[in-house]
A and B are shown apart, each in its own frame.
Chain A
Amino acid sequence: MPAFSGQLVVFGFASFFALAFAVLMVVQRTPVRSVLSLVVTFFGLSVLAVLLAAPFIAALQIFVYAGAILVLFLFVIMLLNLKEEAADEDDRPVQRTLGLLVALALGGLLAGATLRAPAPPRGTPSLSSIPSPDEIPALGRLLFSDYLLAFEALSLLLLVAAVGALLLSKRKFE
């Protein structure tokens, strides 16, 4: 089965890159490098989305996340001229180990719980089978029928966020 192993190889590469660059993002002390590592992670995640038969979300991930949100982060970091984090005056070893322990414990707990959980029941099928060429039209139809209210609320939210961001970053902020 060549298709089978091909997908596995792509999955391995994408998840390796996503995880490795996520770790790099946390380890990195320079904010610009953190953002660039996160871009690679998001590209890996978008490949994983393609493997999960979600091409629309994969495109959205690159356009909106890597393209818009992370560029916004880059702009702000360069605007504020953030360099490396200052060397810690006090290292706070207790907090560091505690934070790391909590993250590790939660990660292990969640991984165990999700692996043990029974497979979710089949939902009300919106499609006969989900990897299908009709998927993006079906998403659009869903968006403008079942999720219309949420969609309109979202547009309002984006407008309010844009106005709020303008207001907050005005020079005379009192």
Chain B
Amino acid sequence: MTGALPGVAPMAVPPGAFLVVGTLLFAIGLAGALLKRNAISIFLSIELMMNAVNLLFLTYARMRGDLAGQMIVFFVIAVAAAEAAVGLAIFVALFRVRRTVDVDKIALLKW
């Protein structure tokens, strides 16, 4: 797995290293999303997971010598911005009613 594809300048850092960092960040984000109880911290962990995937997209874009991967990252960032705005507004509205953002206490739809 080398970056030295025809027409693409070789990469100084092996692409596998970027892939490992991306997957590790994804796993850390998943651990956060599973272990945290504060809704905002869970949301933050999901942001981290999206960024890990963005890193993988950039790595593959670099390996393929194709700008489509960078384009996808652009769209992911924009959608994440929209998602953060709406999600945080939901938490604010929820906090007004329930006085908490602890996901253990907001279990109305659980069963």
Residue-wise, chain A 29-63 has the 8 Å CB interface mask toward B (1 for contact) of 00100110010011001001101111011001100
A158, B44: Cβ atoms closer than 8 Å: no
Q: A123 near B47 (CB under 8 angstroms)?
A: no
From 94 to 113 in chain A, residues with beta carbon under 8 angstroms from any chain B beta carbon are: 96, 99-100, 102-104, 106-108, 110-111
Q: For A128, list chain B residues within 8 Å (CB).
A: 7
- Known contacts A100-B34, A127-B67; 18 additional CB pairs below 8 A are A19-B21, A38-B48, A45-B55, A49-B55, A56-B74, A61-B51, A79-B92, A80-B92, A85-B41, A107-B26, A123-B66, A125-B66, A135-B67, A138-B67, A139-B70, A168-B89, A168-B93, A169-B93
A72–B85 contact, CB under 8 A? yes
Complex Cα distance A38/B62, Å?
A: 25
Contact B64–A142 (Cβ < 8 Å) = no
Tell me if B77 counts as interface (CB < 8 A to partner A).
yes
Bound-state CA distance A142–B67 (Å) is 9
Cβ A76 vs Cβ B67 within 8 A = no
B1 at the A interface (CB under 8 A): yes
Give min CB distance, A54 to chain B, whole Å: 5
CB pair B64–A122 under 8 Å, yes or no, is: yes
**Which residues of A are in contact with B by a Cβ distance under 8 Å?**
3-4, 6-8, 11, 15, 18-19, 22-23, 25-26, 31, 34-35, 38, 41-42, 45, 48-49, 51-54, 56-57, 60-61, 64-65, 68-69, 72-73, 76-77, 79-80, 82, 85-86, 88, 96, 99-100, 102-104, 106-108, 110-111, 114-115, 117-131, 135, 138-139, 142-143, 147, 150, 154, 157-158, 160-162, 164-166, 168-169, 173
How distant is the Cα of A7 from the Cα of B62 in the complex, in angstroms? 15
A150-B67 in contact (CB<8A): no
Q: From DSSP, what is the main secondary structure of chain A's interface residues?
A: helix
A61 touches B40 (CB 8 A): no
Output the least CB separation between A127 and chain B (Å). Answer: 7
Q: How far is the CA of A56 from the CA of B65 in the complex (A)?
A: 16
